[in-house]
Amino acid sequence: MLMRDEIKAAAEAVLFVRGEQVPIDELVEILDVPLLDLKGIMQELVMEYNEKKRGLQIVFEDYTYLMCSRAEYSDFLARMNKTVQRRLSPAAMETLALIAYQQPVTRTEIESIRGVKSDKVLNHLLDKGLICEAGHKAVLGKPLIYATTQEFLRIFGLAGLKDLPRLEEDKKNVRQINRRRDND
């Protein structure tokens, strides 16, 4: 069994690493401390953070604990000009690549090549402004067609779509895909 101070320290570490709201039940499980004991200990910890006017605080709400920065220091945080680099998920990258090379393309076409449902990943790419809806295909059902945007060209450093690197096997594959599409 851990000492009171150790439990506090371990709870700090857990909340720090998670950086999101952690339900009290989960904390009970991770730290292996009975619920009632933990509640009391966490109350003390929250108060310690508040008394010392630290840069961080622990907020208890809806049976969850959240470690976050204190509102007083939000100005500094806004001043951080350092940008965070985000990577696209493999699924998003793959879908984006398909659209880039095969545009304009419908969702059904994308899904038939990827072999998986792609509505969520398409919405994600739309939100990021990397693709846009570019009208409707003139076939039964008039499905939406997707294309890449200026933003896409900008972040990948392309002057235009014709600057996309050509693949050796590209032509053959496109033919194959078209064939498959016709068969569907």
Partner 1 sequence: MGYMVDLEAFHGPMDLLLYLIDENQVDIYDIPVALLSEQFMAYLERSGEYQLDMMGDFLVMASYLLHLKARMLLPAAPGLEEEAEEDPREELVQKLQQYRKYKEAAEQLVNLQMGKTKRVFFGNRDAFAGENEVLHAELRLLVKAYQAVLERFEEEEPQMHIPQEDVNVHEKMDEILQVLNEKEGSISFVELFARAVRRRELLGLFLALLELVRQQKVAARQEETFGDIRILLRVGNEDVDEG
Name residues contacting partner 1, limited to 147-166 (CB under 8 A): 153-159, 163-165
Q: Which of 84, 138, 139, 140 binds partner 1 (CB under 8 A)?
A: 84
How long is the chain?
184
Query: Which CB atom, from 63 or from 73, has the smaller least distance to its own copies?
Result: 73
Peptide bond connecting 165 to the previous residue in cis, omega within 30 degrees of 0: no
Token pair 């220091």: residue: 73
In whole angstroms, give the CA distance from residue 138 to residue 4: 69
Map residue 173 onto helix, strand or coil.
helix
Q: Which of 3, 80, 139, 140 binds partner 1 (CB under 8 A)?
A: 80
CA distances from 36 to 13, 31, 40, 44, 151 (A): 20, 13, 7, 13, 53
Shortest Å distance, C-beta 173 to its own copies: 22
Q: Which does 35 bind (CB under 5 to 8 A by kind): partner 1, its own copies, none?
A: none
Contacting positions for its own copies (CB under 8 A): 5, 8-14, 16-19, 22, 26, 29-31, 53-56, 67, 69-70, 72-73, 76-77, 79-82, 87, 129
Query: Which CB atom, from 35 or from 74, has the smaller least distance to partner 1?
Result: 74
In whole angstroms, give the CA distance from residue 35 to residue 15: 17
Q: Which of 1, 3, 36, 71 binds partner 1 (CB under 8 A)?
A: 71
